[in-house]
Each structure stands twice: as C-alpha cells, then as structure tokens.
Amino acid sequence: MTPRSPWSTDELARLDDNGSRLERVLQRLGPDHWDRPIGDGWTVKQMLAHLAFWEETTLPVIETMLRGGPELPADRWYGGDTLRLGPDDPWPDADSHNTREASWADHQTAAVVLDRWRQARHRLKQLVATVTEPEALGDVGDHLTQAREHTEHHAEQLEAMA
C-alpha cells in the first residue's frame, strides 16, 4: 500500500497508532470481559462492532458520495450479516445502525467481532492510501479524519475501564 500523498502517509501512521492503542486496551481487558458494560449501555463487543461498521462505511461514503463513483454493493464493504438494505431503501439513521450492530455483536464471539474490526481497519487503510492531496484538503480528508477521531474517542473510553 503506497500512499498517494503526504496526508495519506501521516494519516496511515495515525491509524496505525490508534489501532495499536485499541488492540492494547482490548488485550488488557481480555475477551472474557468483552460482555461487560462500558457506559452508554454498550459492552466492549458492541462498541467494537460499532467501530467496525463505521470504519466499513467510510468506503461507500468516499467512493460513492464524495468521489461520485457507482454505488457499492454491501457485500463489498459491510462485514456483518444484518444490514438488509435493499437498493431503494432509505439509509437508516445512526442510532438504528448502532442498535443493529450492538445486536449483531451480542450473538458473536469476541474473536469474530475483533476480526471484523481488523478487516474494516485494513480496508480503511487501503482507502486512506488512495487519497490525493487535493482530496485531503476537502470533504474526503475531513470524513476520514473524523472516522479516525471516532475510534480514538472510543479507545479512550475503553482505556478508562481497563
């Protein structure tokens, strides 16, 4: 994965840092504690599924909405099995997505949820590597920065309980 811009290089380093940070806190907690509530009514598994979904979602947002490409079928980006959106269905609000992903996580092992997040993170990094400098200065860079900051926020929550 060769970055296309200095911004991509920097952002990939930040993603590596916050990914390592999240992995360390998850390891400290241990999968036996992933069903513990952490605040906001979520468990560790539910929060990780939530992060996986929103990192997965960066791909269609960037490729379709911000770069104007064709709509991506869910199987190209979505790592869960409960999205169930038809081609003409409206996009649910964030709370609906969060509730669905929390429910999905309840029926999965810690390993499955972690693997989904790791795959989402890998695809996110592949996407970040494609960002040009002009894109980095606009909506694409803003969206990707917000996605990374979202993960950092939740890593901080987990660190507080570990």
Band (23; pLDDT cuts 50, 70, 90): very high
The number of angstroms, rounded, from the C-alpha of 53 to the middle of its chain's C-alpha atoms is: 5
Mean pLDDT, rounded, for 40-51 = 92
Computed on alpha carbons and rounded to an integer, the radius of gyration of the chain in Å comes to 16
Residue 112, CA distances (Å) to 19, 98, 107 in order? 17, 18, 10
Q: At 162, which amino acid appears?
A: A
Q: What sign for the dihedral angle of Cα 147, 2, 111, 113?
A: positive
141, 12 contact by CB (below 8 A): no
- Partners of 39 in beta bridges: 42
| pLDDT at site 72 | 86
User: Is 87 within 8 Å of 136 (Cβ atoms)?
Assistant: no
pLDDT exceeds 80 at position 86: no
- Rounded mean pLDDT, 7-15: 95
CA end-to-end span of the chain: 33
Q: At residue 75, does pLDDT exceed 90?
A: no
Tokens for 141?
């860079």
DSSP 3-state percent helix, strand, coil across the chain (nearest 5): 70, 5, 25
Distance separating alpha carbons of residues 120 and 70, to the nearest angstrom: 20
Quickly state the pLDDT bin for 71 (edges 50, 70, 90).
Answer: confident
pTM: 0.92
Residue 93 gets which letter from DSSP? Answer: P
